[in-house]
A = this chain, B = another copy of it.
Amino acid sequence: MNFRSDNTAGASEKVLAALVAANGGTEAAYGADTLTKQVEKQLCEIFERDVAAFLVVNGTAANSLALACAAPPYGAILCHVESHIADDECGAPEFFSGGAKVVGLPGIGCKLEPSTVAAKLERMPAHSLRHSEPTALSITQATEAGTLYTVEEIAALAEIARSRDLMVHMDGARFANALVSLGCTPAEMTWKVGVDVLSFGATKNGCLAAEAVVFFDKSKAMEMAIRRKRAGHTLSKGRFLAAQMQAYLSDGHWLDLARRANRAAEQLEKALLSLPGVRLGWPRQSNGVFAILPEAVDRRLRKANASYHPWSPDWLPVKSMPKKGEALFRFVTSFRTTAMEIEKLHAAGQTEPMAVPRVTARTG
């Protein structure tokens, strides 16, 4: 019963099989191989646009390389204060950009409000020569809290960004989970509403280690190619990166995987909510369930070897704040999560397992 993260699962069988199949023969190195070309074409089709795509091995690399192209060393990158780029990457955006400032903003459910961004920008006037120059806005879809921006919300944020010439970056580590939940197209969730560059995640959703940085405006392509090489993120045997992504994107496999994970989360939500005293911190919208558990429930689940993360209550709505004896926890499902695991979790949470035999013994 591992609900710690969607990166604790392995890879999908299809993806792994493609990797194995790619092993034969010699191939051009450093991304000049046939499979990489195919993936680039697939991404153009999926996004209905002539995009520039760059494969890398993980989300930190994807985010940081994208942001280094979006923000000069003297730039400021606005984002939610709990976003991965601000809080989980050991300062990777600062490293890749040469010292750009990651400016963390508040927001319930780890979502940015347009008014919050606008207010911050007003306090960071252009050419102030006092603070770093705002040059990028980064939003996460799905967010670190598993919540989603609607297409209209993305558009509203991008419009504010555009008014100050900020590049709009989307951290799509869980892009597929968000997409199938919203039921829109990749284009509708990105460039059609103002996203300039996307970290297109695939690792959490079934690859071994593969993400793509997708530029909707190809003018940054040359800069990105050299930045990637310089960061050690251009694999020599590039076919093995491409093979994963190729299988992932083929025949809607990526969407199937995301639907599976989201469906598991839906079931998990139900299971958790049926336990005594459990409620949600935020509405579940993708493959993460953020639940407030009474101490007793948490204790029972841990005793049964369920694993999941405690979570910061900072961005809960005021009315949902944990009370004494409660705490917020994150449960994440993946394409591999089984109904049995969820049932097992449910069973473990319902009653104090130790207590049952005792009662039985007494009545017996």
Contacts and interface: CB of A to CB of B under 8 A. Distances in A.
A239 B16 CA distance: 14
Contacts of A26: 2, 8-9, 336
Given A10-B23, A10-B25, A100 B94 contact: yes
B90 A226 contact: yes
A271 to B, nearest CB: 18
A192 interface: no
Chain copies in the assembly?
4
A192 B74 CA distance: 31
A129 interface: yes
Interface string A54-75: 0011111110110000001110
Given A2-B26, A30-B129, A233-B232, A95 B72 contact: no
B132 A91 contact: yes
A240 interface: yes
A358 B291 CA distance: 70
Contacts of A130: 87-90, 229
Sorting the interface of chain A by its residue count into under 10, 10 to 19, 20 to 34 or 35 or more gives 35 or more
A234 interface: yes
Contacts of A65: 232
Contact of A58 (B222, B225, B235): B235
A351 interface: no
A222 to B, nearest CB: 6
Per CB-CB distance, the 6 closest pairs between chain A and chain B, nearest first, are A61-B232, A94-B99, A98-B98, A7-B236, A10-B23, A60-B232
Given A8-B29, A58-B235, A209-B237, 20 more contacts: A7-B29, A10-B27, A11-B237, A26-B336, A57-B235, A59-B236, A62-B232, A73-B73, A73-B94, A73-B95, A74-B230, A76-B91, A88-B131, A89-B232, A90-B229, A92-B230, A92-B232, A95-B99, A129-B225, A129-B229
Interface of A: 2, 4-5, 7-11, 16, 19-20, 22-30, 56-62, 64-65, 72-74, 76, 87-92, 94-102, 127, 129-133, 203-204, 208-209, 222-223, 225-227, 229-237, 239-241, 336
